[in-house]
Chains A and B, each alone.
Chain A
């Protein structure tokens, strides 16, 4: 087992103070090395779910067990360290730092873990995503496809156990979408990284062996009505 969610609840607050339930998941599990696509319509809580899994957000209740550790029980600094060392992130908007070169952005992915920065490994990752000769370019001088490839390289820089991809192809031109997707899947299987990708697009999810629909196991609505009424 690499990821296990149990009884996870997460509510936001409406501006008027009433709770807005977003997540209510009884159980969701990914085994070590598995690759899963999670489909959900816009606004149904995909990003929130990934933030809860990575420890950026804490759920109101429930357990989030990553590689055997229930991260909801960890103090914040330990959770940050855990994220730095065990979790990789690929964002919809790439989220590269504009002032950093491709290589530096990859190195940034190692900076906050306990392991020493490994320049050679960072370079090999860039080589793997086909950007060997662009390592000294800043994001502004790279195409969107190239930018997302840099961020794939960065997501693997800390040798994570779990990689979270949040609509990684939504902002990439159609010609590059398949390539990015294959790259993520291949590099994850090469490095035995468990992969969870969320998307709203069915055609993107189809590429995966395992496809889950968020609304099948996430049922926040009824609970909320009961609470409000």
Chain B
């Protein structure tokens, strides 16, 4: 028999009190693990790993809103950019890939966002090192659609499914007449792409009512190219041409119903442009972004920056608050362990006297009581750690199905410390368990000291 066995027996003897105190430690640690797993999943969603583009270009305004709408598709678009401008960026020597995005509408079933883009979107990586896996054929017709895994699962759609979309403007109830057909399904990516329906950008323009009236386009072009008169001239010429064509059509008797013909590029608009700059030129993105800032009514943001700010501002604080709460629970559990052991000491005076009479040293009986506290604290902690991760393992498929959030049940949360100007990172467990040990020592010390000081002759005669 060793000291831990003896301690364990004493714990078992006070079964109810012991298990309650250990469970409260377990509860605290379990909640801590759950908080870390959830915030880890949110962090992963909002981390740079969800997008492999260096810049997102959009109309001047809030960078955060641009990223939330273009990358996360949880915010409506603000305004549009000329399609011409996309063509122009595409030619910039610093740009390796420019992908236009047009969005604003949602599916009638499930309200998933509809994004018009080009095939290039699927050729590029969706996250660093990850390429799309697509089941089905390419988009051919205007009203062909590629759907994300979550859309397929949640709506029960597969290749061949047909659907309609709801116009995303102020009149949120207008259903477009066009019938779309699913031609391919994306494999799960763990990114907002899973919740998105993609159509060809030409298809997007072809949707009735997506064409902006030429007058409006003209106004916007004038504003956008205010400081670039030659580009404005090219654009306005195109518009004039298109207007002439329209008028000729109405004159020739096609009046009444609006007839589709190829929209001139100048009349097309995109909501955002995703940019990848040259791989080994880290300053391309910065240069490009400052060029934009000066030249046009547009801005380019690094998709990571506003999100990281959001993370630290909101998510970081919420997480911190929750962690503080779990630490409090653990501390209170520590106090309950103290109370439980300390009140048991009166009853155990005799047992301690007996052990001393059998030759136990003061240090040994001290150790036995301390071991009890350690077993309750660290054992409870271990239990909580396992059950926290266990809950994550069990809940992960349900959470993914409900929210599209990919939980990593065994996520390692790295804590940053600054020690003498060195920044070190440690997994939270390497801090948690020593802390629990320290707590155990702290709360076990006083009762252990009582055991240490027990007067043997006195204890045996009582």
Which residues of A approach B to under 8 Å, CB–CB?
A: 47-48, 51, 54, 56-57, 76-77, 80-85, 87, 89, 91, 95, 97-100, 104, 107-113, 117, 154, 158
Contacts and interface: CB of A to CB of B under 8 A. Distances in A.
Contact of B457 (A57, A81, A89, A104): A57
A56 B356 contact: yes
Interface of B: 1-2, 6, 9-10, 12-13, 350-351, 353-364, 456-457, 460-461
13 contacts: A47-B457, A56-B460, A76-B361, A77-B361, A99-B13, A108-B6, A108-B358, A111-B358, A112-B358, A112-B359, A112-B361, A112-B364, A117-B1
B12 A99 contact: yes
B361 A80 contact: yes
Main secondary structure of the interface of B (DSSP, over half): helix
Contacts of B457: 47-48, 51, 56-57
Residue among B358, B361, B460 with most chain A CB within 10 A: B358
B10 A84 contact: no
Contacts, number: 76
Contacts of A104: 1, 9
Contact of B354 (A57, A80, A84, A95): A95
A206 to B, nearest CB: 27
Contacts of B6: 108, 111
Contacts of A80: 356, 359-362
Given A81-B359, A81-B361, A84-B358, 20 more contacts: A51-B456, A51-B457, A56-B356, A56-B357, A57-B457, A77-B362, A83-B359, A91-B357, A95-B357, A95-B460, A97-B9, A99-B12, A99-B13, A108-B6, A108-B358, A111-B358, A112-B355, A112-B358, A117-B1, A154-B358
Contacts of B353: 95
B361 A54 contact: no
Contacts of A110: 1
A81 B364 CA distance: 11
A104 B456 CA distance: 21
Contacts of B2: 111
Given A95-B350, A112-B355, A84 B360 contact: yes
A50 to B, nearest CB: 10
Across the A-B interface, give the 7 residue pairs with the lowest CB-CB distance, nearest first: A84-B359, A112-B359, A99-B13, A83-B359, A80-B361, A112-B360, A95-B354
A108 to B, nearest CB: 6
Given A111-B1, A112-B364, A99 B10 contact: yes
A85 B359 contact: yes
Contacts of B357: 54, 56, 83, 89, 91, 95
A109 B460 CA distance: 16
A27 B356 CA distance: 27
A158 B363 CA distance: 20
Contacts of A112: 355, 358-361, 364
A108 B461 contact: no
B359 A76 contact: no
B1 A108 contact: yes
Contacts of A77: 361-363
A57 to B, nearest CB: 5
Contacts of A83: 357-359
B10 to A, nearest CB: 7
Given A56-B357, A57-B457, A89-B357, A99 B9 contact: yes
Contacts of B460: 56, 91, 95
A88 to B, nearest CB: 9
B461 to A, nearest CB: 7
Residue among B355, B357, B359, B461 with most chain A CB within 10 A: B359
B355 A47 contact: no
Nearest to A100: B9
Nearest to A84: B359
Given A56-B456, A91-B460, A111-B1, A97 B360 contact: no
A77 B13 CA distance: 29
A104 B350 CA distance: 17
Nearest to B363: A77
A97 B361 contact: no
Given A51-B457, A99-B13, A89 B358 contact: yes
A98 to B, nearest CB: 8
Residue among A47, A56, A76, A112 with most chain B CB within 10 A: A112
Contacts of A81: 359, 361
Contacts of A109: 358
B363 A107 contact: no
A29 to B, nearest CB: 24
Given A95-B354, A97-B351, A107-B1, A113 B9 contact: no
